[in-house]
A and B are shown apart, each in its own frame.
Chain A
Amino acid sequence: MSSHLADPRAARASITVECRLFARYAELLGRTQVSLRLPPTATVSDAIAALRTGVEKGDLLPAAPLAAVNCEHSAPDRPLHDGDELALLPPLAGG
């Protein structure tokens, strides 16, 4: 198999994930979006850890908030890809 069919993530030094914050989390951090550069093997929980340590007031976020990737509820171990949209969701209160 030719090499260009190998996992493209292996060839990348990093990925960029757009993180969106809502409601109380947006209020806590004073912003609604953050662009994160992460290792190509990063998961949802890695991205949350990077937010909590690398962004001002990030430590105000819980360690394991609800998360969605590209508008789908996602588990902490979901792998992220370049260009993904990661949303951190405060406890849901719809209806």
Chain B
Amino acid sequence: MMVTNWRCCRRWQGGDLGYLTREPIDVAALLAEVAAPGRGGTVAFLGTVRRSAEDGPVSAIEYSAYEEMVVAELDRILDEARARWPDVGVAASHRLGTVPTGEASIGVVAAAPHRDQAFEAGRFLIEEAKRRLPVWKHERFDDGTVQWRDT
């Protein structure tokens, strides 16, 4: 989607929506972003499209987003994590478009000198992402029906 005339995305006009992808989440790339010799504990969390939903069997979820704001908000979340745990490396990626059951829609990683901080920072990243990122799910069921998942 080409969006270049909105105030808040001017800094993204180079087309770098780096946290967003329409391909499978590249966990190895996320891990490589945070790896460092002094970091002995790494946590990676993946949120995956699951089969069982209250309303029936989900075959896939179509993810859409306010893309420029996802980038801005993830910047803020990652900066907050770095401020809170200065020795911890953090990174995140969110997938958009159609994500089949069993594939990941979001990945966050945190690498720290010791595991306690890695778990704390990883938990922070996924909870803040779930709470703050402007992303929406359009569920597709086996029978072909669709519905917004926004409750």
Q: How far is the CB of B73 from chain A (nearest CB, A)?
A: 7
- Of the listed residues B66, B94, B126, B130, the one surrounded by the most CB atoms of chain A closer than 10 A to its CB is B66
B136 x A71 contact (CB < 8 A): no
A68 x B135 contact (CB < 8 A): no
Is A90 on the interface with B (CB-CB < 8 A)? yes
Q: Which residue of A lies closest to B12 (CB)?
A: A71
* Interfacial chain A residues near B129, Cβ < 8 Å: 94-95
Q: How far is the CB of A35 from chain B (nearest CB, A)?
A: 12
Q: Which residue of A lies closest to B3 (CB)?
A: A20
- Of the listed residues A23, A27, A89, the one surrounded by the most CB atoms of chain B closer than 10 A to its CB is A23
Question: How many A-B pairs with Cβ below 8 Å?
Answer: 84
Interface size in chain B (residues, C-beta < 8 A): 32
* Interfacial chain B residues near A77, Cβ < 8 Å: none
* Interfacial chain A residues near B34, Cβ < 8 Å: none
* Interfacial chain A residues near B64, Cβ < 8 Å: 22-23
Is B105 on the interface with A (CB-CB < 8 A)? yes
Q: Which residue of B lies closest to A90 (CB)?
A: B150
Q: Ordered nearest first, which 10 A-B pairs have the shortest CB separation?
A: A94-B135, A71-B8, A23-B136, A94-B133, A71-B69, A71-B72, A95-B130, A70-B8, A91-B150, A93-B137
